Chains A and B, each alone.
With several copies, the nearest count.
Chain A
Amino acid sequence: MSKDPALELKDIHKTFGDHEVLKGISLEAHDGDVISILGSSGSGKSTFLRCINLLENPTQGSICFNGEALQLKPGATDLVAADMKQLTRMRQKIGFVFQSFNLWPHMTILQNVMEGPLHVLKRPKQEVLEYAEYLLNKVGIADKKHMYPNQLSGGQQQRVAIARTLAMDPQILLFDEPTSALDPELVGEVLGVMRGLADEGRTMLIVTHEMNFAREVSSEVVFLHQGLVEEKGTPEKVFGSPDSERCKAFLSTAF
């Protein structure tokens, strides 16, 4: 393997209508990196994360995955994928965990987790089943596998969503505020699972408001402000002695 970063984003811009939400953000993630993305509400964190796998189309910029550039071509207002096959392939390697879980309510927990590897990756059923059960066990809800999402608490649902993402064996995991839709008591369960993933050496990009968590698990912290990277560095640096006044102010209210 070369030493290409697993993910390399360059100068990502995104405009909604007249409103430029991202004004040129660059970021590199190497295998094993855990990068936390902080910033106040509306600073563009979600938008940035969603641009990575083209849930939002950036208006400018480039996205490289293991050194391979995602082919983009100009669309009506923004850049769209030029090669759907390539995009689909990349998406399969980039896992995404949503704030609101987005489990499929008409499928059982097990079906939710198996859907991807079975029907998208077309792996053999027995293998997928075993792996799904292993993952559900790992996130601690193996006993609920035949239940439906709505029968689970939010924390349990989010753990299923993580298992569903892991089942695709993604090289990188993106998390968009995975705990902010949860009641305070349930947050812990999900953070615990995520901490485990970090310890395993998984590559992760995490948008979060959980400062303590970010400080503990991150190898790098990025602070966004008004669509730009305002501060960036090790957690010690960013949390301990941030250069930026805004970052300082943000952290002081957050703790």
Chain B
Amino acid sequence: MELDFSVVIEYFPRLLSGTWMTMKLVILSIVLGAIVALPIALARISKNPLISGGPFAFIFFFRGTPLLVQIFLVYYGASQFEVVRESFIWPVLREPFWCAIIAFTLNTSAYTAEIFRGAIQAIPEGEVEACKVMGMTKVQMYRRILLPRAFGIVLPAYGNEIILMLKASALASTITLLDLTGMARTIIARTYTPIEIFLAAGAIYLVISIAVIYIFRLVEKRQNRYLGTLSIKVPDKG
């Protein structure tokens, strides 16, 4: 079987439109995920089990189950119920795009929360004590020192998370979205040239990942010029 890359050229514009959908999915869920993650991370750090219990369970569920299951639960699972279909959230839930965003956001926020938590807890105890002896309140301590400090630590792990999210977004294709993978699969349904089209799609993903890695390296370099290297263990996603 010879490969025929002319189909790639022919369908390239459609692959690009899939790429755009992928970008929208990733950017939106990463941004929303970060916003959701911060309070979860802070609650998770609390020594009070009443406060940290919920976030713990949330993080555990979303990190412990496949994203594919999570998407199906949101998309097919929720719509099974009449109540949901008649409620005010249905206009959102009926859209596969928003279902994907919801699943991705919840998923990435669980991972991001762990990254934030790791970063905050990686700050050497002495630096925290330096805040305390100065008479800072908890709020001042977090706002002025710990969160800005954590930002620098978080970078490598967070860059990783974005790439993992980019790749995980391929699962949107399973709920009718024409993201890059979905578009590739649709094209293949017509042309029966899986290898050519998948390779092309893979190459596009690769280019985006490499761009993300590159950007993060740059930012990191700037950050760590002064910071030295303090990094945390990265929880990976699946």
Binding site for B on A (CB under 8 A): 53, 55, 84, 88-96, 98, 100-106, 115-116, 119-120, 148-151, 161, 164-165, 168
Write 6 A-B pairs (CB below 8 A) sorted by A numbering: A55-B133, A98-B126, A103-B130, A106-B148, A106-B152, A106-B226
Q: Does B227 contact A (CB under 8 A)?
A: yes
A116-B136, A149-B226 known, 11 other contacts, Cβ within 8 Å:
A55-B129, A84-B137, A88-B135, A95-B133, A101-B126, A102-B124, A105-B127, A105-B226, A105-B227, A161-B130, A165-B133
Number of B residues contacting the other chain (C-beta, 8 Å)?
23
- Secondary structure at the B interface, as helix, strand, loop or mixed, is helix
Q: Does B140 contact A (CB under 8 A)?
A: yes
> Is the Cβ of A150 less than 8 Å from the Cβ of B130?
no
Alpha-carbon distance A60/B227, docked complex (angstroms) = 40
* Interface flags, B124-165, vs A, CB<8A=1, else 0: 101101101111110010001100110110000000000000
- Knowing A98-B126, A102-B126 are in contact, say whether A120-B134 is a contact too (CB < 8 A): yes
Binding site for A on B (CB under 8 A): 124, 126-127, 129-130, 132-137, 140, 144-145, 148-149, 151-152, 225-228, 230
Q: How far apart are A158's CB and chain B's nearest CB, in angstroms? A: 13
- Interfacial chain A residues near B227, Cβ < 8 Å: 105-106, 148, 150
Interface centre among A92, A103, A105, A148 (most CB of B within 10 A): A105
- Interfacial chain B residues near A92, Cβ < 8 Å: 134-135
Q: How far apart are B110's CB and chain A's nearest CB, in angstroms? A: 27
> Is the Cβ of A88 less than 8 Å from the Cβ of B137?
yes
Interface centre among B126, B130, B136, B230 (most CB of A within 10 A): B130
- Knowing A105-B226, A106-B149 are in contact, say whether A91-B135 is a contact too (CB < 8 A): yes
> Is the Cβ of A94 less than 8 Å from the Cβ of B226?
no
Alpha-carbon distance A89/B137, docked complex (angstroms) = 10
- Knowing A105-B227, A106-B152, A148-B226 are in contact, say whether A53-B133 is a contact too (CB < 8 A): yes
Alpha-carbon distance A92/B132, docked complex (angstroms) = 9
- Knowing A55-B133, A95-B133 are in contact, say whether A105-B228 is a contact too (CB < 8 A): yes
- Knowing A89-B135, A91-B134, A120-B135 are in contact, say whether A102-B129 is a contact too (CB < 8 A): yes
Q: How far apart are A47's CB and chain B's nearest CB, in angstroms? A: 14
- Knowing A104-B149, A119-B140, A120-B140 are in contact, say whether A94-B133 is a contact too (CB < 8 A): yes
Shortest 8 CB-CB contacts between residues of A and residues of B? A92-B135, A148-B226, A102-B126, A91-B135, A96-B133, A102-B130, A116-B134, A88-B135
- Interfacial chain A residues near B230, Cβ < 8 Å: 105
- Knowing A120-B135, A120-B140 are in contact, say whether A150-B228 is a contact too (CB < 8 A): yes
- Interfacial chain A residues near B144, Cβ < 8 Å: 115, 119
- Interfacial chain B residues near A93, Cβ < 8 Å: 135
- Among residues of B, the one whose C-beta sits closest to the C-beta of A54 is B132
- Among residues of A, the one whose C-beta sits closest to the C-beta of B148 is A106
- Interfacial chain A residues near B124, Cβ < 8 Å: 102
- Knowing A106-B227, A151-B226 are in contact, say whether A98-B136 is a contact too (CB < 8 A): no
Q: How far apart are B228's CB and chain A's nearest CB, in angstroms? A: 5
Alpha-carbon distance A95/B130, docked complex (angstroms) = 10
- Interfacial chain B residues near A168, Cβ < 8 Å: 134-135
